[in-house]
Chains A and B, each alone.
Chain A
Amino acid sequence: MSSEMIAEYEVSHGKAKAFYERYERKDELQHQTHFCPGCGHGQTHKMLAKAIDELGIQNRTILVGPVGCGVFTYYYYDVGNISAAHGRATAVATGVKRSRPESIVIDYQGDGDLAAIGSAEILHAANRGEHITVIFVNNAIYSMTGGQLAPTTLLGQKTATSPEGRNAANEGYPLHVCELLATLEAPVYIERVGLGDNKQIMQAARAIKRAVENQVRGLGFSLIEVLSPCPTLFKMTPVEAQRWVRDVMEKTFPLGVFRDRTKEAQPRALPEAAPALDRIPQILGVANEDLPEGNPAVHDETAADLDLAVRVAGFGGQGVLLLGEVLAEAGLDAGLEVSWLPSYGPEMRSGTSNCHVRLATRVIDSPMVTNPDVLVAMNEPALRKFVKSVHAGGWILYNGEEFPADCEQPGVQVLACPFTEIADALGNARAGNMLMLGALLEMTGVLRDVNIDAALKRLVKNPRWTELNRRAIERGRELMRESRL
Chain B
Amino acid sequence: MRKQLMKGNEAIVRSAILAGCRAFYGYPITPASEIAEAAALYMPRAGGVFLQAESEVAAINMIYGAAGAGVRSMTASSGPGISLMQEGISYMAGAELPCVIADITRGGPGLGNIAAEQGDYHQVVKGGGHGNYRTIVLAPHSVQEMADLTALAFELADRYRNPVFVLADGFIGQMMEPVEFSQTAVEPRTPDYAVTGTKETRGNLIGSLHLDIDEMEAHQGRMEAKYRHAEEHETRAEEWRTADAEIVLTGYGIMGRILKAVAAEARADGLKIGVLRPITLFPFPKLHFQRLAKSARVFVVVEMSNGQMLEDVRLALNGARPVEFLSRVGGNVPSHGEVLEFVRKLARQSLPALHLEEECVANV
A-to-B contact residues, CB < 8 Å: 25, 27, 58-62, 64-65, 71, 74, 78-85, 88, 91-100, 102-105, 120-121, 123-124, 128, 271-275, 277-278, 280-281, 283-288, 291-294, 325, 328-329, 332, 337-342, 344-346, 364-368, 370-371
Q: A98-B49, A280-B17 are in contact. List 16 more A-B contacts (CB 8 A).
A: A27-B212, A59-B202, A80-B201, A81-B206, A83-B206, A88-B64, A88-B88, A91-B58, A94-B62, A100-B69, A120-B57, A283-B46, A288-B1, A291-B3, A367-B175, A368-B254
**Residues of chain A contacted by B199 (CB below 8 angstroms):** 59
- The 5 A-B residue pairs with the shortest CB-CB distance, nearest first, are A95-B65, A103-B197, A274-B47, A83-B207, A280-B185
Say whether, besides A60-B198, A99-B49, A368-B258, A88 and B57 are in contact (CB < 8 Å): yes
The distance from the CB of B116 to the nearest CB of chain A, in whole angstroms, is: 9
Kindly state the separation between the CA atoms of A277 and B65 in the bound complex, as whole angstroms. Answer: 24
Asked if B349 CB lies within 8 Å of chain A CBs, one says no
User: Considering the chains assembled together, what is the distance between the CA atoms of A342 and B260 in angstroms?
Assistant: 21
- Tell me the complex Cα distance, A329–B177, Å: 9
**B interface residue numbers (CB < 8 A to A):** 1-5, 14, 17-18, 22-23, 25, 30-31, 42, 45-49, 51, 53-55, 57-59, 61-71, 73, 87-88, 91, 95, 114-115, 170-171, 174-178, 181-185, 187, 195-199, 201-209, 211-212, 254, 257-258, 260-261, 264, 333, 335-337
In the bound complex, how far is the Cα of B22 from the Cα of A283, in angstroms?
14
CB < 8 Å: which of B59, B91, B182, B257 contacts A366? B257
A104–B202 alpha-carbon span in the complex (Å)? 12
Which residue of A98, A103, A123 is within 8 Å of B66 (Cβ)?
Answer: A98
Could you show 16 A-B contacts with beta carbons less than 8 Å apart?
A60-B198, A79-B202, A80-B201, A83-B95, A84-B61, A85-B64, A91-B58, A96-B195, A102-B197, A271-B47, A277-B187, A281-B184, A286-B14, A340-B177, A367-B175, A368-B336
- Residue in chain B with minimal CB distance to A367: B175
B5 touches A85 (CB 8 A): no
Contact yes or no, B261 A366, CB < 8 A: yes
Q: In the docked arrangement, what's the CA distance between A328 and B179, Å?
A: 13
Q: A283 contacts which chain B residues (CB < 8 A)?
A: 42, 45-46
Contacts of A59 in B (CB 8 A): 197-199, 202
Shortest C-beta distance, B278 to chain A (Å), equals 17
The one of A79, A84, A123 in contact with B64, judged by C-beta atoms closer than 8 angstroms, is A84
Tell me whether A284 and B177 are in contact (CB under 8 A): no
Chain A residues whose C-beta falls within 8 Å of the C-beta of B261 in the assembled complex: 365-366
Chain A residues lying within 8 Å of B62, measured Cβ to Cβ, are 91-92, 94-95, 98
User: Which residues of the other chain, A, contact B23 by a CB distance below 8 angstroms?
Assistant: 95, 98-99
A103 touches B196 (CB 8 A): yes
Is the beta-carbon distance between A291 and B4 smaller than 8 angstroms?
yes
Q: Hey, which chain B residues are within 8 Å of A60, CB to CB?
A: 197-198
Minimum CB–CB distance for B296 against chain A, Å:
20
Q: How far is the CA of A58 from the CA of B65 in the complex (A)?
A: 19
**With the chains together, A61 CA to B198 CA distance in Å?**
8
**Inter-chain contact A344/B170, CB cutoff 8 Å:** yes
Of chain B, the residue at the smallest CB distance from A291 is B2
Contact B260 A340 (CB under 8 A): no
- The interface residues of chain B lying within 8 Å CB-to-CB of A88 are 57-58, 61, 64, 88
Q: A62-B197, A85-B88, A288-B2 are known contacts. Are A278 and B58 too (CB-CB below 8 A)?
A: no
* Interchain CB contact under 8 A, B185 and A278: yes
Decide yes or no: A96 and B336 within 8 Å by CB, A283-B42, A328-B176 being known contacts. no
Pairwise interchain contact A367-B185, C-beta atoms closer than 8 A: no
Known contacts being A84-B64, A370-B335, is A365 close to B257, with CB within 8 Å? yes
Q: Which residue of B lies closest to A117 (CB)?
A: B57
Given contacts A91-B53, A277-B185, A284-B17, contact A85 B257 (CB under 8 A): no
A-B contact count (CB 8 A): 246
Contact B260–A366 (Cβ < 8 Å): yes
- Minimal beta-carbon separation of B39 from chain A (angstroms): 11
- The smallest C-beta distance from A95 to any residue of chain B, in angstroms, reads 3
Residues of A within 8 A of B53 (CB): 91, 124
> How far, in whole Å, are A91 and B25 apart by their CA atoms in the complex?
10
B69 touches A99 (CB 8 A): yes
Docked CA distance A359–B175 (Å)? 14
Say yes or no: B336 contacts A121, CB within 8 Å. Answer: no
Task: Indicate if the CB atoms of B66 and A99 lie closer than 8 Å.
Answer: yes
CB neighbours of B197 from chain A (8 A): 59-62, 80, 100, 102-105
- Min distance, Cβ B258 to any Cβ of chain A, angstroms: 5
Please report the C-alpha to C-alpha distance between residue A285 and residue B45 in the assembled complex, in whole angstroms: 12
**CB < 8 Å: which of B25, B47, B174, B205 contacts A95?**
B25
Chain B: CB-nearest residue to A347? B114
Q: Evaluate contact between B114 and A83: CB separation under 8 angstroms.
A: no
- B182 proximity list for chain A (CB < 8 A): 281
Residues in A whose Cβ lies below 8 Å from that of B1: 288
Partner of B195, one of A71, A82, A332, A364: A82
Contacts of B55 on A, CB cut-off 8 Å?
Answer: 120
Q: Is the CB of A345 within 8 A of B114?
A: yes
Return A476 CB to nearest CB of chain B, in Å.
22
Of chain A, the residue at the smallest CB distance from B240 is A365
Known: A59-B197, A99-B66, A121-B58. A85 touches B91 (CB 8 A): yes
Shortest distance between the CB of B77 and any CB in chain A (Å): 15
Q: Which residues of B contact A62 (CB under 8 A)?
A: 69, 195-197
Give the Cβ gap from B85 to chain A, nearest Cβ, in Å: 11
Residues B65 and A82 in contact, CB atoms below 8 Å apart: yes
Closest A residue by C-beta to B206:
A82
Chain B residues contacting A329 (CB-CB under 8 Å) are 5
The distance in angstroms between the C-alpha atoms of A25 and B209, with both chains bound, is 11
Please, how many angstroms separate the alpha-carbon atoms of A167 and B105 in the complex? Answer: 44
A373 to chain B minimum Cβ distance, whole angstroms, is: 14
A83 and B336 form a contact (CB under 8 A): no
Residues from chain B with a CB closer than 8 A to the CB of A341 are: 171, 174-176
Inter-subunit contact A275/B47 (CB<8 Å): yes
Residues of B within 8 A of A85 (CB): 61, 64, 87-88, 91
Are A370 and B45 within 8 A (Cβ)? no
Most B CB atoms within 10 A — which of A286, A288, A325, A328? A286
* B335 nearest in chain A by CB position: A370
- Asked whether, in the complex, the Cβ of A83 is within 8 Å of the Cβ of B202, the reply is no
- Cβ-defined contact, A100 with B175, below 8 A: no
Chain A residue nearest to B1 in the complex (CB): A288
Query: Cα distance A281–B46 when bound, in Å?
Result: 10
Residues of B within 8 A of A293 (CB): 2
Closest to B64 in A: A92
Shortest beta-carbon distance, B313 to chain A, in Å? 21
The answer to whether B185 touches A81, judged by C-beta atoms less than 8 angstroms apart, is no
Residues of A contacting B3 in the complex (Cβ-Cβ under 8 angstroms): 291, 332
Is B174 touching A344 in the complex (CB atoms < 8 A)?
yes
Given contact pairs A286-B14, A345-B30, A120 touches B42 in the complex (Cβ within 8 A): no
B57 CB → nearest A CB, Å: 7
Q: Which residue of A lies closest to B72 (CB)?
A: A99
Count chain A CB atoms within 10 A of each CB in B5, B17, B53, B335 and give the residue with the most. B5
CB–CB A124/B54 < 8 A: yes
Report A59 CB to chain B, min CB distance, Å: 4
B258 in complex: contacting residue of A105, A281, A292, A366, CB < 8 Å: A366
Contact A99 B181 (CB under 8 A): no
Chain A: minimal CB distance from B130 (Å): 11
List the B residue with the shortest CB-CB distance to A459. Answer: B5
CB neighbours (8 Å) of A27 from chain B are 211-212
